[in-house]
Structure 1
Amino acid sequence: MSEALTTDRVHVRAPGKINVFFEVGDLDDHGYHEVASAYQAVSAYEDLWAEASDLFTISVTGTVDVSGVPLDDRNLAVRAARLLAAETGYGGGVHLEIRKGVPVAGGMGGGSADAAAALVACDALWGTGLSSTDLHALGSRLGADVPFALLGGTAVGTGRGDELSPALARGRFDWVIVTSGDGLSTPAVYSELDRHRAEHAADIAPIPRRPAVEPAVLQALRAGDATALAVSARNDLQVAALRLRPDLAGVLERGERSGALVGMVSGSGPTVAFLAEDEESAIDLQVLLSADGFEALHVHGPVPGARVR
């Protein structure tokens, strides 16, 4: 992807994401769910600096709570750097410094953005010269959301969510995200969704084996129509997140009563994303929610994927 830069320190910025649509298929024979997602990269960012080192080390700060972020080989950015080194035969290490702006364990792909940033930064720092296709292939081995953090913009994801097709999104969409101090485990949310579906099998629609993004979602994105997108936006994981965190229902209700076009749990939660009509409406909504004591942040999308700064 790049030749070695004439520096011993590389800065990469990668975005968080919102799933504006997320349909979850039934469990397959291997215990996995196929999904269909419409991703949008938004202006909540992870900043990563990669510096030449003999070892693989990491430090993490941020504007969000980072107390639960691992500082060893469990960290997805460290795993990404080690994977790139192993695949390319690079013999050294790297020190990664991360400043997080995406809520931790909040369903917005912050860890995946860190991994994407590490791949891009180390490729540039080490001059390993991988193509975008190669980096995306490595990213998919680290997690389903990593390829999208590399791509950015707006895209449809199928399979595990890592089989991406760019989607046209005209104009700008403004969101207000409300964060929560207590994260939710993605596997726990999927397990809760399976329990919910089993308990209510007679009352809900048949579960798709091959989920798909509804055409109305793509039409709204192409038109840049926030009102139309609000009508068609959906997240199948929301019901499970609300079962595990019933308090989120009150957050959703408050945001929609305060002027949001629609509110939805982002990914596996517990972050809640509210779609606003425009930038001014989003700022007004952020002020109202902040006054109510919520941690509210105004972001917009789509924005580019992981890039050297």
Structure 2
Amino acid sequence: MSSVTVRVPAKVNVQLSVGPLREDGFHDLVNVFHAVSIFDEVMAKESESITVQVNGKWSDQVPVDDSNLAIRAARALAKHAGRTYGADLIIQKDIPVAGGMAGGSADAAGALVACNELWGLGLPLEDLMEIAGDLGSDVPFSLIGGTAVGTGRGEQLSELPTGGTFHWVFALANGGLSTASVYAECDRLRAESAADIPWPQLNDALMEALGTGDAYALGSHLSNDLQAATLNLRPELAPTLDSGRQHGALGAIVSGSGPTCAFLAIDATHARDLAQSLTATGAAHMAVPAHGPVQGATLL
């Protein structure tokens, strides 16, 4: 086998509850992941070394050195297998970079699945999930997709059945935000307020809405504890969220650490209309309809 291609989805967090800062620098989370139909593709080709090349949207914003998460994933997989392997990784980007949609984590998951196949390792999903958890909190979910609750740092996953398809619009912002900077701003705002920080809890009403496929109920229960910090760093996102609500979005939320804004629509037609309205009014320079849940990393 000379090459393998894997398709990996973006995610939106329909609930992101952030606990107090831990001694290890992380936060305990209740994180409800939802995989959506915006995809990167990761091709792994036979090679003597591990390299990465990035094409498509935002490719100039992705590092191609040892800091690239897909390279780190391939090397971690080779180390786990106890042998020296090579692969040229070619990433076709459609997921925004530093957009709060787990694009880097998706590419790492894609590299794990592609290299596992290219190298003929035959490792089960459980092994790949263990490696993924060491790479980053979002990488395990990128492997499985669908809808899932993440606890701990977000890497401890429980899959959730959903009662149907949900339709979304994602307003893509100019420039990205580092996750670390958003969490730091969240901690700063909390320290300023001196309020008690509650232990993160799963929203039962949100879980019921997901299970029954009720988009109206889901829209009313979307939540993100990082949103205030993101809007503090990027105040221009607030009018984008307001515009989506004014054009009939059932719910509007910053996706993860942002700056992508997510809008829940009634159906596919409403999603297309909402995307057109956001761009026509200048509320977003690019708005992309999508649906979920979709599968995680998938061999093509």
Interval containing the TM-score (normalised by the shorter chain): over 0.9
Q: Calculate the TM-score normalised by the size of structure 2.
A: 0.97
> In 2, are the aligned partners of 1:65 and 1:181 still within 8 Å (CA)?
no
1:138-160, CA deviations, whole angstroms, 9 ceiling, x for partnerless residues?
A: 00000000000001000000000
Tell me by how many angstroms 1:17 deviates. Answer: 0.2
- Which whole-Å CA distance do the structure 2 matches of 1:208 and 1:142 have between them? 28
Specify the alignment match of 2:296 in structure 1: 305
Aligned pairs (5 A) from 1:1-309 = 7-62=1-56, 64-202=57-195, 206-209=196-199, 211-293=200-282, 294=284, 295-309=286-300
Task: Spell out, residue by residue over 1:31-89, the C-alpha distance to the aligned partner (whole angstroms, 9 max, x if none).
Answer: 22111011100000010110010011111012x22221001111000100011011102
CA drift of 1:201 comes to 2.6
Aligned-residue offset at 1:239: 0.3
CA drift at 1:30: 2.4
Instruction: For residues 105-149 of structure 1, give each alpha carbon's deviation from its aligned partner in whole angstroms, at most 9, with x where no partner exists.
Output: 000000000000000000000011211000000000000000000
Mean Cα displacement is larger for which, 64-73 or 9-18?
A: 64-73
- On the 8 A contact 2:177/2:259 being kept in 1, the answer is yes
Distance 1:146 1:27 in 2: 21
Q: Normalising by structure 1, what TM-score?
A: 0.95
In the comparison of the two structures, how many residue pairs are matched?
Answer: 298
- Consecutive unaligned residues of structure 2, counting only runs of 5 or more, are none
Give the match's secondary structure for 1:267: coil
Task: Name stretches of at least 5 consecutive residues in structure 1 with no aligned partner.
Answer: 1-6
Give the drift of 1:199. Answer: 1.4
2:85–2:119 CA contact under 8 A, matched in 1? no
Displacement after TM superposition at 1:280 (Å): 1.1
Superposed displacement of residue 29, structure 1: 2.5
- Which deviates the most, 243-252 or 27-36? 27-36
Q: Tell me how far 1:230 sits from its aligned partner.
A: 1.0
1:18, 1:50 → 2: CA distance? 26
> Counterpart in 2 of 1:3?
none
In structure 1, what is the Cα distance between the partners aligned to 2:271 and 2:100?
A: 20
Partner amino acid, structure 2, of 1:258: H
| Contact 1:22-1:213 at 8 Å conserved across structures | no
Q: Which runs of 4+ in 1 moved over 3 A?
A: none
Q: Distance between the aligned counterparts of 2:141 and 2:203, measured in 1? A: 19
- CA positional deviation for 1:212: 2.3
Q: Write the distance in 2 (CA, Å) between the matches of 1:66 and 1:243.
A: 27
